[in-house]
Amino acid sequence: MLRISSRYLIVGLALLLAAMAQTPDDRWDRLEEKANTILKEISEGVLVGDSKKSAMMELLQENRLFLAEHPDNESAWLMSASLCGQLGDDECLDTSLRAIMRMNPRNVQAGLQWAAHYTNDNRLDRSLDVLNELLELNPTSLMFWNAWTITATTHDPSLIQSRFRTLMIDAASPERPIAFLTALQKSDPWTAADLGEQLLEWSPEHPDVLLCVARGLRSANQFKSAADIIKTMPAEMLKRPDVAYLHSDCLYADHRFQEAYDIMSSIDLDSIESKPGLARRLKFMLPLRKQALDAWQREQKLRTLQTNSTDNPLVRITIDGKPVELELFAGEAPNTVAAFLATARRGDYEQLPFMRIHTGFRSITGETSRSAPYTLPIELDEDDSRDFFTGSVSMYMNNPANPDSSTNQLCLYHFPAPHLNGTRNVFGRVTSGLDVVREMREGAVLESVEILRAPEIPIDPIVIDSSGTQRPMSQVMNELDGGTSQPGNASP
């Protein structure tokens, strides 16, 4: 739900006045001086209770008299909105903010504060009314649409589909549905991707529609589908830095590193000086693209060497009823693999919700039913450690500044993450079911872990207990379970 603190809604009178252009009218100067005095006395505790209310009512009345003669003074309307909000007068607040928005429909901050007044009071239907009014004045505002989609999803999710359909009026001018989906992609990329299909059917050739739908698919981890749409765009559009960046991203996600690097390195950084955000991303990502390209050659050799090996354990995890198979790197991260298998043997991963689904990055399980009183020591070796690619498996690290702070929470990567190389262990990879991993939505559950193949030896990995001491996991878990825990055995 959209939440904006009341301290942003009820902005201090002095700040409101200082932020706006002042009129030369002596009465306004007096109002400003009186407002500053009241604000000072409220902050010092001189004005409280009824005396505070009386002082604000008196100031509001004087402000109304001023507005009667100066109805276009935005500063005065802002003062009125602030006072009405503090006094709890909704009708007065609506009148004040409506006047401000009609004078300046691009005053996004005032509009969001108006909607937040009702959202924060859990009057979501009234907040949606306000946002609908704001969108009539500024129909393509991404900030207003973002607030609307978040509020509507919380209040009544069915409003999303119905409102989207009403926006598709003129296929030659799809600005409104594009703004709607662009906002929705931030809060609910999966629904946005589904609605994108409808938008594409309605306006299949409009370049801006193609770009919006491709961005939505990328946001929902549907990288190949997004790349396929990008390839249908006009040649001149493909040269645009933002489109080239998106295209490179989609190829990069599916390990097409050379193509991704070639596209990104062809972008003229000097041509995007007017877009500092995009320029910063490109300057950060380009070296990572090259790093991943070099590391991928080494990774492919390792995978080829291990193709026919039976040394690495295999497990099948089930996510929302769908199977995903993992190969675990017993040679490169033996202790982390042992910890995962031991935890799985205890059944601690059964019916475990995913606490975070970061599309375009990774998904992380929540803590196990028995929150383990330990972390795992890092296992990094310059020659043997595996790098982060799409489908990599690692453990969640509570404190990135502490390499020995990995927990038993599983991380599944939808996207390469070379910026994490050398900072934490990759102890496995997805060999089957990557589509299941990428399709996960909020509320996904890790239902079970089945060990398909593992060395037939007892597994009792070393962990770091709450005192910072390295000990066998069985000792730590015995203390937690009252002496009933046994070392996990990896054999199926």
Alpha-carbon span 477 to 472, nearest angstrom? 9
Residue 297 maps to a domain: no
Alpha-carbon span 455 to 135, nearest angstrom? 62
Residue 296 maps to a domain: no
From 125, 155, 185, the end of a domain falls on 155
Q: Which two tokens mark 174?
A: 């799809």
User: Distance from CA of residue 356 to its chain's centroid?
Assistant: 9
Which neighbouring-strand residues pair with 353? 445
pTM of the entire predicted model: 0.85
pLDDT at residue 485 in the model? 54
On the question of pLDDT at 424 being above 60, the answer is: yes
Q: Which two tokens mark 217?
A: 């698919």
pLDDT at residue 439 in the model? 95
Residue 54 maps to a domain: yes
pLDDT at residue 84 in the model? 92
Alpha-carbon span 316 to 432, nearest angstrom? 9
Residue whose token pair is 């041509």:
271
Q: What is the pLDDT of residues 149-163, one digit of tens each?
A: 999 999 999 999 999
Q: What is the mean pLDDT of the chain?
A: 89
From 155, 181, 213, the end of a domain falls on 155
pLDDT at residue 369 in the model? 65
Residue 88 maps to a domain: yes
pLDDT at residue 10 in the model? 39
Q: pLDDT: is 90 or 282 the higher one?
A: 90
Strongest mean pLDDT among 284-293, 356-365, 370-379: 356-365
Residue 275 maps to a domain: no
pLDDT at residue 318 in the model? 98
Residue 4's pLDDT band, with cuts at 50, 70 and 90, is: very low
pLDDT at residue 342 in the model? 92
Residue 140's pLDDT band, with cuts at 50, 70 and 90, is: very high
Q: Which two tokens mark 25?
A: 């009218």
Torsion of CA 225, 226, 227, 233, to 10 degrees: 120
Residue 256 maps to a domain: no
Alpha-carbon span 361 to 460, nearest angstrom? 31
Mean pLDDT of the 343-349 span:
91
Alpha-carbon span 54 to 57, nearest angstrom? 5
On the question of pLDDT at 469 being above 60, the answer is: yes
Cα angle, residue 167 at apex, residues 139 and 180 outer, rounded to 5°: 60
pLDDT at residue 311 in the model? 87
On the question of pLDDT at 273 being above 80, the answer is: no
Under a CB-based contact definition with an 8 Å cutoff, are residues 167 and 132 in contact?
no
Mean pLDDT of the 90-101 span:
95
* 3-state class (DSSP) for residue 5: coil
Alpha-carbon span 133 to 110, nearest angstrom? 13
Residue 79 maps to a domain: yes
Determine which of 210-219, 275-284, 402-411 has the lowest per-residue pLDDT on average: 275-284
Mean pLDDT of the 127-152 span:
96
Residue 479 maps to a domain: yes
On the question of pLDDT at 490 being above 80, the answer is: no
Mean pLDDT of the 111-132 span:
95
pLDDT at residue 313 in the model? 95
Mean pLDDT of the 327-351 span:
93
Q: pLDDT: is 437 or 33 the higher one?
A: 437
Residues spanned by the domain of 58: 1-155
Alpha-carbon span 12 to 30, nearest angstrom? 17
Determine which of 2-16, 190-204, 438-452 has the lowest per-residue pLDDT on average: 2-16
On the question of pLDDT at 7 being above 50, the answer is: no
Give the domain CATH number at 48. 1.25.40.10
Mean pLDDT of the 353-375 span:
88
Nearest residue to 3 (alpha-carbon basis) of 112, 95, 81, 84:
112
Alpha-carbon span 380 to 328, nearest angstrom? 15
Domain count, the chain: 2
- Give the β-pairing of 462-465 and 374-375: antiparallel
From 155, 184, 200, the end of a domain falls on 155
Alpha-carbon span 456 to 141, nearest angstrom? 61
Give the domain CATH number at 402. 2.40.100.10
Alpha-carbon span 71 to 80, nearest angstrom? 12
